[in-house]
Amino acid sequence: MIIGVDVGGTKIAVAGFVEGSAGGSAGSAGRGSARLRMVTDVRTVPTPADAGGPAVVRVVADVIAGLCDGAELTAVGIGTAGVVGADGGIFSATDAIAGWAGFPLPTAMADALAGIGADGIRVAVVNDVHAAAVAEAQIGAGAGSDSILMAAVGTGIGGAVVFADGLHRGATGTAGSLGHAEVVMPDSLAARQCPCGGHGHVEAAASGPAMEQTYLEKSGVRAGLREIDALAQRGDAMAIEVIDDGARFLGRVLASANALLDVDTIVIGGGVAEIGSRYLGAVESSYRTSALPGPSRARIVPAELAVDATLTGAAILAHALS
Ligand SMILES: [Zn+2]
């Protein structure tokens, strides 16, 4: 059994997979790894965030022990927030999990697995959006496409690039960091500091919390993004402006990114992408206006795999190591 794990700041989700295709669907050319089929339920446990990495790997190992129930474990793939270095260690991360940045996750996980009697298990660690993009490319919204750029728009803006021969992690694991692309924006937004410390970055203007902040500054009313979207649907001019501006900034960044990459499919996921058709329509129209003639023909599609994307992609990558 191959295990996929999604380590988030508040919860950890784990599921087991075996090789094989559920629906006999055709493999996507060139991606090299056999298809996986989820054979367990998805187990979810709270993240022991304050206790940090050593507690996280113990919790994950315990859940895996319960899931395997005698089945032979062959590989474990872990998707997690943060930049993952070439060695699978966490190169940088927020403080959502204490001491996560610098934590040697692959070796600590392998040690924890040895503690449940599973010795010598390969552990693959990958950024959570990178993992989600691998799953979308193989069995989700990007299935059948040659190359995808994924944008995950939620509390931050992440991204990933998957070419025909697989995930492009980049020299330092940072590839696809769309949120930190600069975009032309009004001074009031450009003055905001991005979580990375920079200014003028699209994440500071177009993430979910950023759009909520903009609405608060414009209207004096604190509202969640879904509420703002509902107001926009009822014709509230300020809400429309906030949603459309956020979408427009993202669309322009995607157009710049795809001038470099020229992928055939752009997949948009994350909580913000789920607020409704107005947002995705505005992203697409901004993209098509700004993109070069060739890349402007790229398909733009919403993500399909939702909450299981990261753990599924992590399992696919772990399996590819075997
Ligand atoms: Zn930034």
How do strand 265-269 and strand 148-153 relate by DSSP bridges? parallel
CA of 180 from ligand 1 middle (Å) equals: 4
Tell me, yes or no, whether 236 and 167 share the same domain.
yes
- Cβ neighbours of residue 209 closer than 8 Å, sequence gap 6 or more: 155
Q: Which two tokens stand for residue 10?
A: 């508040």
User: Can you tell me the mean pLDDT for 103-128?
Assistant: 95
262 is a domain residue: yes
Least confident of 62-66, 68-72, 129-133: 68-72
CA of 156 to the centre of ligand 1 (A): 10
Q: Please indicate, yes or no, if residue 136 is contained in any of the structural domains.
A: no
* Whole-number pLDDT of residue 29: 34
Ligand 1 centroid distance, CA of 175 (Å): 14
Q: What is the structure's pLDDT at 8?
A: 93
Question: Does residue 126 sit in the same domain as residue 72?
Answer: yes
How many angstroms separate the alpha carbon of residue 48 from the centre of ligand 1?
27
Q: What are 193-202's contacts with CB under 8 Å, separation 24+?
A: 195/94, 195/156, 202/157, 202/178, 202/249, 202/250, 202/253
Q: Are residues 149 and 271 in the same domain?
A: yes
**Whole-number pLDDT of residue 306:** 82
Cα–Cα dist 121/133, whole Å:
24
Ligand 1 centroid, distance to 113 Cα (angstroms): 36
**Cα-to-centroid distance, 198 and ligand 1 (Å):** 5
Q: Global pTM?
A: 0.93
Q: How confident is the model at residue 22 (pLDDT cuts 50, 70, 90)?
A: low
Residue 4: enclosing H or E segment and its boundaries? strand 2-7
Q: Is residue 315 within 8 Å of residue 269, measured between CB atoms?
A: no
Answer yes or no: do 123 and 222 share one domain. Answer: no
294 and 205 within one domain? yes
CA of 25 to the centre of ligand 1 (A): 39
Of 21-25, 44-48, 199-203, the one with minimum mean pLDDT is: 21-25
Spatial neighbors of 50 by CB under 8 A, at least 6 apart, are 98
Q: Are 5 and 81 in contact (CB under 8 A)?
A: no
CA of 191 to the centre of ligand 1 (A): 12
- Å from CA of 29 to ligand 1 middle: 35
pLDDT given for residue 194 in this prediction: 95
- Provide the pLDDT for residue 34: 64
Instruction: Tell me the CA–centroid distance for residue 196 and ligand 1, in Å.
Output: 4
The whole-number pLDDT of residue 76 equals 98
Indicate whether 113 and 192 sit together in one domain.
no
* Lookup result for tokens 């692309």: 181
Tens of pLDDT along 212-263?
A: 999 999 999 999 999 999 999 999 999 999 999 999 999 999 999 999 999 9
Residue 306: Cβ within 10 Å count: 11
- Evaluate whether residue 176 is within a structural domain: yes
Of 194, 9, 197, the C-alpha closest to 95 is 9
One domain for residues 224 and 161 = yes
Judge whether residue 173 has pLDDT over 60: yes
* 217 and 113 housed in the same domain: no
Residues 153 and 219 occupy one common structural domain = yes
The SS3 of residue 200 is coil
CA-only gyration radius of the chain, Å: 20
- Strands (DSSP E) contained in 62-155 are 75-80, 83-84, 90-92, 122-127, 148-153
Alpha helices in 262-308 (DSSP H): 277-290
Domain span at 43 = 2-131+307-321
Whose CA is closest to 4, among 84, 60, 50? 60
User: Ligand 1: distance of its center to the CA of 66 in Å?
Assistant: 40
| % of the chain with per-residue pLDDT over 70 | 96
Nearest to 89 by CA among 196, 172, 5, 213: 172
* pLDDT tens-digit series, residues 261-318: 999 999 999 999 999 889 999 999 999 999 999 999 999 999 999 889 999 999 999 9
Q: Are residues 109 and 192 both part of a single domain?
A: no
Give me the pLDDT at residue 111, please.
97
Q: Which of 27-41, 101-115, 133-147, 197-211 has the lowest mean pLDDT?
A: 27-41
Ligand 1 centre distance from Cα of residue 203 (Å): 6
302 vs 95: CA distance, rounded Å: 29
Q: What is the mean pLDDT of the chain?
A: 93
Distance 202 CA to ligand 1 centre (A): 7
Question: Which CATH number fits the domain that encloses residue 235?
Answer: 3.30.420.40
Asked if residue 187 and residue 155 are part of one domain, the reply reads yes
pLDDT band, residue 28 (cuts 50/70/90): very low
- The pLDDT confidence band at residue 322, using thresholds 50, 70 and 90, is confident
Instruction: Answer yes or no: is 228 within a domain.
Output: yes
* 231: in domain: yes
* 29 assigned to some structural domain: yes
- 137 domain residue, yes or no: no
pLDDT one-digit tens code per residue, 218-228: 999 999 999 99
The count of structural domains within the chain is: 2
How many angstroms separate the alpha carbon of residue 90 from the centre of ligand 1? 18
In a shared domain, residues 243 and 110: no
